Structure 1
Amino acid sequence: MNQYRNDSVSVEEYFRIRENSDTLLEYIDGFVYMSPSPSTIHQRISRNLEMNFLNFLVAKPCELFHAPYDIELKIEKMEGTKVVIPDISIICDKSGFTDARYVGVPSLIVEILSPSNQSHDLITKLNLYMNYGVKEYWIVNPMLCAVTVYALNDENMYEQHDMQINTGEITSKLLNGFRVDLAYLFNN
Structure 2
Amino acid sequence: MHKYLNESISADEYFQIRENSEALLEYIDGFVYMSPSPSTKHQRISRKLQIKFGNLLEGNPCELFSAPYDIELKNDKIDGTKIIIPDISIICDKSGFTDARYVGVPNLIVEILSPSNQSHDLITKLNLYMNYGVKEYWIVNPMLNSITVYALNDEKMYEQHDMKTETGEITSKFLNGFRIDLTSIFAN
**TM-score exceeds 0.5:** yes
- 1:139 aligned to 2:139? yes
User: What's the secondary structure of 2:54's corresponding residue?
Assistant: helix
Question: Structure 1 residue 154: deviation in Å?
Answer: 0.3
- 1:108 aligned to 2:145? no
Distance (whole Å) between structure 2 residues aligned to residue 93 and residue 153 of structure 1 = 20
Distance (whole Å) between structure 1 residues aligned to residue 64 and residue 178 of structure 2 = 14
What code does the residue aligned with 2:3 have?
Q
Distance (whole Å) between structure 2 residues aligned to residue 69 and residue 60 of structure 1 = 20
Q: Which residue is equivalent to 2:179?
A: 179
What code does the residue aligned with 2:44 have?
R
Distance (whole Å) between structure 1 residues aligned to residue 110 and residue 136 of structure 2 = 9
Distance (whole Å) between structure 2 residues aligned to residue 26 and residue 64 of structure 1 = 19
Q: Which residue is equivalent to 2:155?
A: 155
Question: Structure 1 residue 26: deviation in Å?
Answer: 0.2
Question: Which runs of structure 2 are paired with 1:90-129 in the superposition (5 Å)?
Answer: 90-129=90-129
User: What's the secondary structure of 1:121's corresponding residue?
Assistant: helix
Task: Supply the RMSD in Å over aligned alpha carbons.
Answer: 0.3
What code does the residue aligned with 1:43 have?
Q
Question: Which runs of structure 2 are paired with 1:23-172 in the superposition (5 Å)?
Answer: 23-172=23-172
Distance (whole Å) between structure 2 residues aligned to residue 163 and residue 78 of structure 1 = 30
Distance (whole Å) between structure 2 residues aligned to residue 187 and residue 46 of structure 1 = 12
- Which digits, 9 at most, give the CA deviation of each residue in 1:7-37, with x for residues without a partner? 0000000000000000000000000000000
Question: Structure 1 residue 176: deviation in Å?
Answer: 0.7
Distance (whole Å) between structure 2 residues aligned to residue 63 and residue 37 of structure 1 = 25
Question: Structure 1 residue 177: deviation in Å?
Answer: 1.1
Aligned residues between the structures: 188
What code does the residue aligned with 2:103 have?
V
Q: Which residue is equivalent to 1:5?
A: 5
Distance (whole Å) between structure 1 residues aligned to residue 61 and residue 151 of structure 2 = 20
What code does the residue aligned with 1:86 have?
P
User: What's the secondary structure of 2:52's corresponding residue?
Assistant: helix
Distance (whole Å) between structure 2 residues aligned to residue 49 and residue 187 of structure 1 = 12
So what's the TM-score if we normalise by structure 1? 1.00
So what's the TM-score if we normalise by structure 2? 1.00
User: What's the secondary structure of 1:23's corresponding residue?
Assistant: coil
Structure 1: 5+ residue runs without aligned partners?
Answer: none
Distance (whole Å) between structure 2 residues aligned to residue 6 and residue 59 of structure 1 = 45
Distance (whole Å) between structure 2 residues aligned to residue 48 and residue 178 of structure 1 = 14
Distance (whole Å) between structure 1 residues aligned to residue 106 and residue 76 of structure 2 = 15
User: What's the secondary structure of 2:184's corresponding residue?
Assistant: helix
Question: Which runs of structure 2 are paired with 1:17-28 in the superposition (5 Å)?
Answer: 17-28=17-28
What code does the residue aligned with 1:122 have?
L
Distance (whole Å) between structure 2 residues aligned to residue 19 and residue 42 of structure 1 = 25
